[in-house]
Amino acid sequence: MKHIIGIFILMFAAQALLAEEYKDFGKERLNSSLRHGEWVDIKSVGRTIKAFVVYPERKDKTPVVLVVSEIFGLTDWVRSLCDELAENGVIAIAPDLHSGQKFEDLDAARKATSALPKEQVKADLDATANYALTKIPSCNGALGICGFCWGGGVTFAYANENPKLKAAYSFYGTAPDSADKVKNIACPVYGFYAENDERVNATIPKAEELMKAAAKKYEPVIYKGAGRGFMRSGEPDDPAMREGDKKARDEAWARWRTLLKQLP
pLDDT of residue 24: 58
Residues 35/58, Cβ–Cβ less than 8 Å: no
How many other C-beta atoms are found inside a 10 Å radius of the C-beta of residue 173?
23
Q: 242-248 long-range contacts, Cβ below 8 Å, gap at least 24?
A: 245/194, 247/223, 248/194, 248/223, 248/224
- DSSP code for 174: P
Give Cβ neighbours of residue 219 (< 8 Å, ≥ 6 apart).
Answer: 188, 189, 190, 191
Global confidence as pTM: 0.90
Residues 63/55, Cβ–Cβ less than 8 Å: no
Dihedral sign (CA 259, 95, 244, 192): negative
What pLDDT tens digit does each residue of the chain (264 aa) get?
Answer: 444 434 333 333 333 333 333 345 888 888 889 999 999 999 999 999 999 999 999 999 999 999 999 999 999 999 999 999 999 999 999 999 999 998 878 999 999 999 999 999 999 999 999 999 999 999 999 999 999 999 999 999 999 999 999 999 999 999 999 999 999 999 999 999 999 999 999 999 999 999 999 999 999 999 999 999 999 999 887 888 899 999 999 999 999 999 999 998
pLDDT of residue 27: 87
Kindly write down the DSSP assignment for every residue of 19-37, as one continuous string.
HHHHHH--HHHHHH--S-E
